[in-house]
Amino acid sequence: MKHTLRQIFRSSNFLLGFIIFTFLLLVVTIYPILIKHPPLEIIGQGTFFQPGVYVNVYDSISAPKYILNLSNAAANRISNRLGDEERQDMKTWLIAYGVPEDQIDIVDTAKLLDLWMNSYDPNLMLPGMTYAKSQFYQRLDASLEGILETEGVSIAVANPQTGALEERQFIQQSEYVNIDQVANVRVLLLGTDNFGRDVLTELVKATKVSLQIGLVAGTVATLIGLTLGLLAGYIGGLMDDIIMFVTNLFTVIPGFVLLILISFSIGQEHRGANTIAVVIGFTSWVWTTRAVRAQVISLRNRDHVNLSKLSGHSVLHIILSDILPYIASYVVMAFILQISSGILSEAGLSILGLGPRTTLEPTLGLMMNWSLIYQAEILGKWWAYFPVIVTIALITFSMNLMNTGLDQVFNPALRE
């Protein structure tokens, strides 16, 4: 046993798969301990907030201020609001308006703005310009207002009696707050999804649920497959004929179609994560049955089994101690593959809208489904779908690497 384990871990494929998988498991266990946000809490009002650090504006007003004289602050401020694209757009408008091209300098902000302020007229419709485009220029013009100001802004509160504004604070352009001293800061490493939920927290939870689904589906499939395979292979005769008939039937009927039919029939209210997992298990035992049966048939007439029979051991004893140990490696390999294909099946089902019920727990497939429904891929909101795909790919990749590694150890023909 110890020798086998050492041999398994010497296989680079297995080791790499094992490391990836352990890493995923660690993240799934440790993350919820450190960060206790509920995974499906809707925090964002609106869809698809960008990944980043979100600092409360109100709290940062009352946080202690520090003066930092940074030379590039003004330049950063301008380029944040007036990027290269906007400058090009302004140039296009100015050329269309009739300013000679050599007079436009888009690098010198002050000159460009000066030219813009003198020429731009929001009511003027230039020939050949669409309504949407002229609307765009009106918005651009409005956003440029006050861009070159060097004064700060004042924070005022309306007096409840008179309604007059009373100045609370005056904020200089060179004032900073330390982010640690702001009461409310939320780090959204992967932004928010279409419902305004924290994608990272949701993803960790979803990975956990999906792994559970894979585990349950794999266990169900392996148990059914193992039992049927042992019965068919060892007992043989009529039992073998019946089991093989059913197995052949389900080999040919596409499992995915069956899965769609069953999930659809269960109905929305009854589709919990576990139900889906069991259904997936019930539709994917065929391969294990075939593999186990073939192995058992080749073992059935070996000398040690015959010896055991002659010694009067019971069928159960023979199966447990003389047959199972010989096929254990195959069963483990099949189990690993069942887990990964179970996770993929769940994802496929969820994309079809037949996944687990949506309000309780996220799964990787459901996250994919939600982001597809809200067209995250077309809108370029990569954080809503890409991490999900990567996670699924990592899970299945690691499982298959482990499987390939085991195969190389136990199957002498593939040994290098």
Partner 1 sequence: MAVYQINQEVELKGYWKYFLNKGFWFFITFICAFILNFILPRLMPGDPVAVITQKATQGMQSQSGIQAVYEYYANVFGTNKPITTQFVLYLKNVIHGDFGISFSQYPRPVADILRSSIWWTIGLQFPAIIVGWLIGNTLGALAAYLKKGFDKVIMPVSIFVSNFPAFGMAVILLVIFGVGLKWFPTSGGYGFDLIPNFSWTFIWSVIVHYQLPFWSIVLIAIGGQAIGMRSMSIYELNADYVKYSRYLGIKDRKIIGYVFRNAMLPQVTGLALSIGTMVGGALVAEIIFSYPGLGYTMLNGVMGQDYPLISAATLIVTLMVLAAMFVIDIVYGFIDPRVKAAQFD
Angstrom distance (rounded) from CA 299 to CA 303: 9
- State the amino acid at position 170 in one-letter form: F
Residue 396 near partner 1 by CB under 8 A: yes
Q: By CB under 8 A, is residue 351 in contact with partner 1? A: yes
Closest CA to 81 of 153, 146, 133: 146
Residue 386: how many CB atoms within 10 A of its CB?
Answer: 14
Which member of 85, 102, 269, 303 binds partner 1 (CB under 8 A)?
269
User: Cα–Cα distance between 372 and 193 in angstroms, integer?
Assistant: 11
Under rule CB under 8 A, residue 85 binds partner 1 = no
Among 176, 282, 382, 410, binds partner 1 (CB under 8 A): 382
Residue 208 CA to residue 341 CA, distance in Å, equals 16
Tell me which residues in 320-349 interact with partner 1 (CB under 8 A): 340, 344, 347-348
Rounded to whole angstroms, how far apart are CA atoms 114 and 129? 23
Q: Is 365 in contact with 388 (CB distance < 8 Å)?
A: no
Among 78, 113, 324, 372, binds partner 1 (CB under 8 A): 372
Distance CA 310, CA 272 (A): 49
Q: How many CB atoms lie within 10 A of CB 296?
A: 24
* Interactions with partner 1, residue window 239-268 (CB under 8 A): 248-249, 251-258, 260-262, 264-267
- Pick the closer one to partner 1 by CB: 158 or 257: 257
Find the shortest distance in angstroms from Cβ 297 to partner 1.
Answer: 18
Which listed residue (354, 366, 367, 409) binds partner 1 by CB under 8 A? 354
**Is the four-CA dihedral 117, 78, 179, 49 of positive or negative sign?**
positive
Query: Contact with partner 1 (CB under 8 A): which of 33, 57, 132, 413?
Result: 413
Distance CA 210, CA 317 (A): 36
38 part of the interface to partner 1, by CB under 8 A: no
Based on CB atoms, which residue is closest to partner 1, 253 or 307?
253
Q: Which is nearer to partner 1, 202 or 322 (CB)?
A: 202
Per CB under 8 A, residues contacting partner 1 are 248-249, 251-258, 260-262, 264-267, 269-270, 340, 344, 347-348, 351-354, 368, 372, 377-378, 380, 382, 385, 389, 392-393, 396-397, 399-401, 404, 413-414
